[in-house]
Structures are given as structure tokens and as C-alpha cells.
Structure 1
């Protein structure tokens, strides 16, 4: 079964969880204070993300403090504002209407950090406008308790470099190296499932969009005998009919065909500048691709994805590579998806 995380499903559960918490707390109170926020939910990460949202709101409000008469950049003024923030944080008072969206966002982000850390990392390191600013990133990590080791290591590296900001692509490259260095494995989710379920029953399977694997009909029902096509890269029995252009993704595909068949039918012209041979798939992958392929093609299992890439890099030719993918994985893949085509393009480049 081909699965990928559903952000809509996560948001829906997060809203339901938040509504139940709100109902329980505000049934006897009109407002919530700072100390009460820190002890509101049985999942501490949710509480911390609410505080993070309040801190962000404070930062946005202080940015508006500009004047033709007063120097808000003066160190003494900045220190006074920080002290003011300390006092203000001890006097938080929020009604239900204004608190609800904070709690819902915090709940969804917590679920994302737990069940889909790769997308969560992607969201954090890209920052705003595909740029990572180190100081806001440092503040972000202060409020993170789940799956935080890779981001802590990243901050350490940025501090060692003395970096203040960098592009999203540079940030991905650094995080990519760190994930390999620490051999990152997401934390066990059972404890979190139990805690969330104490408020609203949680079935993590509902967070995934699933597509049933294609049922392979008898060969005679889907393929007619065809004259062999001259193609030295495929065995004669698998020669597909000649096609000049790659079909549109919406074009019906014969079920039950192997990857050798499919790749032959979908042969697409490659520009010389576009199609550069790669020595190893592993070395050419971006962190975005790792996240994307792991989530969409390998059911969120990073170890399974890594095993497949290592095996493909060890093989000698495209036929054995396609056979390996066909036998081990492809029966559960959506062969019309962009992720499938991008992955297979890397395989083609490996054996070009």
C-alpha cells in the first residue's frame, strides 16, 4: 500500500484534540494564565508550542516599535524591552476565543514533529522566504522537545561557523549531512499515542493517505503480442511498443506490467545538459528528495529507503536495478506520481 502523510488529517485531529482540551479547561474559567498554559495538556510539547506562538507574537509586536523620536535600537532600550517581556510573560491572560487558534496550531505542529519529523525539519530549516536566520532558529529549538537532536547539532555547526543566516538550500545540505552522521531515527511514538488517546482516541494510520496496490490481471487480458522493438537495454521478451513521447500522467497504464515494460513505454527524450550520469544515487540526493521519497515511496520508513538506495548503488546495470525495484517495492508505488518519475530518473542517470 502506497502511503503518504496527510497534513489535512493531522490538522483535523489536532483541532479535535484542542477542542476537547478547551472544553475541559474553559468550562469553569473565562481566561487562561501563563502557568496554566504550561500545565494545560498532557502532551508537554503542545504546551511549549503555545508558549512559542506567544513569544512569536511578542516579537512581531516589538518590530512595530519604530519612532522618529526614540531610538529603539539603543542597547539600554533593548534591555528594557527584554525586562518588560519578562514581566509581561508573568501576566499572560487570554480568553478562549483568542487562545483556541494558538492551541490548535500547537497541537498540529506537535503531531507533525512526532509522526512526520522530516516534513517538520523541512518547515523549520527553510524559515521564511527560503532563508534560515540563526537567532530565530535558536529560539525555535528552545521550545522543541521531540526529535530535536538533529536540529541541536545543526545549531552547533552554525555557531561553529559563526553564521548569522543562510539560504534554505544551504540549510538543507547541512541538515542532510547531520542526519547521515547521527543515523537519525525518530522517537518511539507509542507514549505519545497513549497520551493523545487519553483525550481523543488516536489511530496514526488515519494520518496517511493510502492507495491500494494495483491488482495484476492475467497477462493475456492486458497485453497483445507485439513485434519486438530494437532496444539493447531490455530482454527481448520485455520489448515495449515504440512511443515517441512520454505519455501524460493521466494516460491509463496497463496493469501488471513490469518496470522494464513501463520504462520502455515511457521513454522520454533527455536533453544532454539535463541528463548527466551520476556515479551514486546516494551522493546526488538532496534532503528534499530524501524526505519526499521516504514519505511517498517507502511508507515513511527511512531505513527501508536507505537500504534500497545502497542496493541500487551496488548493482551493475539498469536491468538488474529495474528488476530489484519491481520485485521489492514497485507493486505498492503509484507509477503516475511525480515522486515515482523523479526516482526512476535518478536510476536512469545512475546507469546511463
Structure 2
């Protein structure tokens, strides 16, 4: 039997592993000799990740929770490694499967390789080229010791080829985050946000998310960025899901406006309902740019680089940068109805997890040594 330990450490990881777990269960029903163990490292505590979150996305309760959150980057990495080593020794696997680029991805990969366990990386090969981002370090380290690379784009494939990875270990399968999105499009939940007692009108509001240090750590720069957003969005409301404590800080430093509406963090199904019906999204997130591309919603990314360039070359996303003065021409184009139309990105079709499981069964059935 092929035994796979699946690692998840933060909320986005669970969106990515949900369809893989579903595909493994289907494969088992169809007679395939495969099983999984789900390990939550506890890297991020998220009150929205309740039983209903797991139920909505079809994720079983984790077999183990390492509760390794908190502390500095180094402390967190160390805690995850120590606790996952014990977990893997007690519950050996043929393969560990990691997704994305959080600390858990890197830490568990290192532990597995030191215990001579094969590592499979889903969403491998993406690069921003920005070594100031912890995620970029996590990607590079993980991919340097990965055995099989499951990729979301031809750009990621080329990054791996340039790093000397042989073609037989690169598996272009698509994007499991999009599997989750497409399978839940009919289940999205209206968060019922009211503006002056009235519900939001479709395509007549903006969604804003900000969290990266380059945008939020400097007060004056943040004020200027928020002012540029307000100035460029006409008379439309700007909905900003943000932690209440952060919202209070923003208001205390003078970031407040009649059209700027702070709301509490939303669940996955609520947030994507909001995005699907927005005029546009302004964000510094990576994953959201993928979702907006699939939903055909204009996206303005407040970053100087991106690890998902296909959302720009093929999708609805534009890389605006982190200078507040950069925003105006993009918002002018959007408000004038001149935003580009995206196209369908190959293999972002909702069937990625099926391809991953099919490929894993093929790879690891070829040799008892699992090479």
C-alpha cells in the first residue's frame, strides 16, 4: 500500500489539500492500494478553521495536530521539525506530500528527507525572485530536496528545468486551489454586508486585502496607499476584510473614510462570494490573484514582484507595485472600462487532484523501493 502523509500548516494549505484527499478517497473506492494521514502542524491558529470549515470543504479532521504555532520564524521552524520528526517516526510513510510555501512546507520536507522518506511538493517551482520574502526561502529549500514536483504552470516547469531538475520528476498537473474554487462555486455564501442599510450591488464595489510588510509597516506609506485607493475608486464602496484589532490601528492613524468599510475576516465561501461579484480586487496576496483570474475579476496587485506571473500574462491581474503613485493609471483604466480580458490558463480545470493521485500511483507502483 502507498502510504502518504499530507502536511498542512495554514488555512490556504487546506484549500490546496482538500481536493487531493477527495481524489485519494475516490481512488481507494475504485480499488487502488493507497491511504493517507493528514497532519496539521498548527503553524497558524485561525478561528475560522472550525468544524464547519472542514465540513464545507470536505476535509476530514486531521489525524494529528502538532500545535507548533507561535514564536519567531526560527522558533516555529524548530518546533515543527521536532514535533514532526516524532510524528513520522511513530507513523512511517512512503511519501510526505507538502503544498505551497509556508514554514511547515519547508520544515516537514527537511525532516522527511533526513528520515529517508520521499518528498512530493505540490505547487512546486514557483518563484518571485525576492529573497526578502520568507515564502521564497521556503520554496527554494523545499524544491532543493523534493523528489517529485507537481506544478501549476509552464513557467514553474521552466524554473525547475533551469535549476537542473530532470524532466521525469516534473509533473505539470494544474492548480489544486482552483479545484477547490470550482467545486465550491455553487456553494458560495453571501456575507450580507450592508452599506447604509442596503446590500452591496454586483460590480459596484471593490474588495481590498493588505498584509505584506512592504505595504503596511510604514504608517505614512500606508496612508498614501489608502488615499490613492480612495481617490481612484470613484463613488464605489471599498470593502476591507481585516482583523478588528488591525482595523482599530488603521483608524487610530487616520485611515478612515465614508466609502472605506472595515469588515471582520470572512470564511472561504463568504470571501469568494464577495470577490466573484466585485468590480475589482486590490490586494498584495498571491493566491487571490489565481482566484480572480479564474473568476474573470480584475485584480490589482500591490507588489513589486509575483511568483504567479501567469495571472498577469494570461489572467486578469496587473502588477501595480508598492508605490502609492503607481495606482492611478491602473484605476483610471479600470474605471473607464478598459481592463484586459483574461484567458483560461491550461489545466486550471478542476481536475488537478485527480491527475496528482493518478501520477503518484504510477510513480510509486514502479518500484518497491519507491524511487
TM-score normalized with structure 2 length: 0.27
Q: Which has the higher strand share?
A: 2
Q: TM-score scaled to structure 1, two decimals?
A: 0.28
Structure whose residues are more often helix by fraction: 1
Asked which structure has the greater RCO (Cα within 8 Å, sep 6+), the reply is 1
